[in-house]
Amino acid sequence: MAAPGSDIEHGYPHLDTVRAAITALYHRLSRDTVDTFGLSVVPGDVAFSDQDDLYLGVQRVARVMVQHLRLPDARMIVSFREMRHAGNVELAAGPEYFIELNSRFKTHRRDIGAALAHEVTHVYLHRLDLSFPGTRDNEILTDTTAAYLGTGWLLLDAYRQDSVSSQKLGYLTPEEFGYVLAMRALLFDEDPSPWFTSPQAYEAYAKGLALARREQARPPLTAAGWTGRRRYAKDRRSAQSGHPSPTGGDYAFDAGPPLSVSFPCPTCRQRIRVPVRGRLRARCGLCRTVLECDT
């Protein structure tokens, strides 16, 4: 807990790593496996009242996370101790995993599900043998995976502020959590906003959703708006005249021959390269999303 906003970062400082994490998930899991996570953990499955037995309740919520991530033969042993971070997990060969949670969760039980979502995702990634170099990037991968696969909305909902205190769990900013949840929502047509108990979480999700929607309406996609299409046409003329390859931010031209343009898939962020020849339909080789383009 801290003074309102004193140590809570906002915006999108880790966005490149977040996007790389989404791409890495598709590389490691395949689109078919990602599609099996179409339903998120629902609030009723992780509800935890003060009347519940602490340790039985923790084991129940941990089991929900294990089952959601389809972790076979993984038993979570959860304990509490004083520590700086929200939690810690001992990663080994299994079948038992030892999770430690900050002792403050004994009296802040509503956030136990969020803490366990992060720690159990560490176990999931360990079993996948998927990691990023460096502690910071690996934690961002963990938060992104939790949010994209259906448990991480709890981490965003743990972001709260009032007149005397503020709280945030996880390594992503609130807006980055909102962005990943929005990417998931657009993929599965799932709206997590009714589950948020925190108004700050709802606002962060709305900002992330706006960014994700803008990414689905950028040239050379046909959904691009007039301004983006006009800029793209200007950059295309410049590339066709043999000038150094212009870029509109996401897209980049390659003189070839023939002239082509590359851009990130709005679903998995893998870059796609297509010829510049007007309207065409492209299929992402990684996530198999079919994209209507006007190149």
CA pair distance 152, 202, nearest whole angstrom = 14
* 112 within 8 A of 100, measured Cβ to Cβ: no
Give residue 3's pLDDT: 38
| pTM of the predicted structure, to 2 decimals | 0.93
Q: Dihedral angle at the C-alpha atoms of 180, 183, 184, 189, nearest 10 degrees?
A: 150
Q: Is the sign of the CA dihedral 51, 54, 56, 59 positive or negative?
A: positive
Give the residue extent of every domain in the chain: 14-216, 218-294
100 Cα distance to chain centroid? 24
CA pair distance 142, 74, nearest whole angstrom = 18
Q: Dihedral angle at the C-alpha atoms of 24, 140, 191, 182, nearest 10 degrees?
A: -70
| SS3 state at 154 | helix
What is the DSSP code (8-state) at residue 256?
Answer: -
* Structure tokens that stand for 162 in this block: 């009032």
Spell out the per-residue pLDDT of the chain, length 295, in tens. 343 445 789 999 999 999 999 999 999 999 999 999 999 999 999 998 888 889 899 999 999 999 999 987 777 888 889 988 888 887 776 678 889 999 988 888 889 999 999 999 999 999 999 999 999 999 999 999 999 999 999 999 999 987 777 889 999 999 999 999 999 999 999 999 999 999 999 999 999 999 999 999 999 999 999 999 999 999 999 888 877 665 556 899 988 788 999 999 999 999 999 999 999 999 999 999 999 999 9
* Structure tokens that stand for 53 in this block: 């037995």
Give residue 4's pLDDT: 41
Give residue 93's pLDDT: 66
Q: Is the sign of the CA dihedral 14, 15, 20, 24 positive or negative?
A: positive
* 2 within 8 A of 165, measured Cβ to Cβ: yes
**Of 159, 135, 212, nearest in space to 181 by CA:** 212
* 117 within 8 A of 155, measured Cβ to Cβ: yes
Q: What share of the chain is helix, strand, coil (3-state, %, to 5)?
A: 45, 15, 40
Amino acid found at 295: T
CA pair distance 191, 216, nearest whole angstrom = 17
CA pair distance 290, 39, nearest whole angstrom = 22
CA pair distance 117, 151, nearest whole angstrom = 6
Q: Is the sign of the CA dihedral 88, 19, 152, 149 positive or negative?
A: negative
**Of 73, 84, 80, nearest in space to 116 by CA:** 80
* Structure tokens that stand for 106 in this block: 């004994």
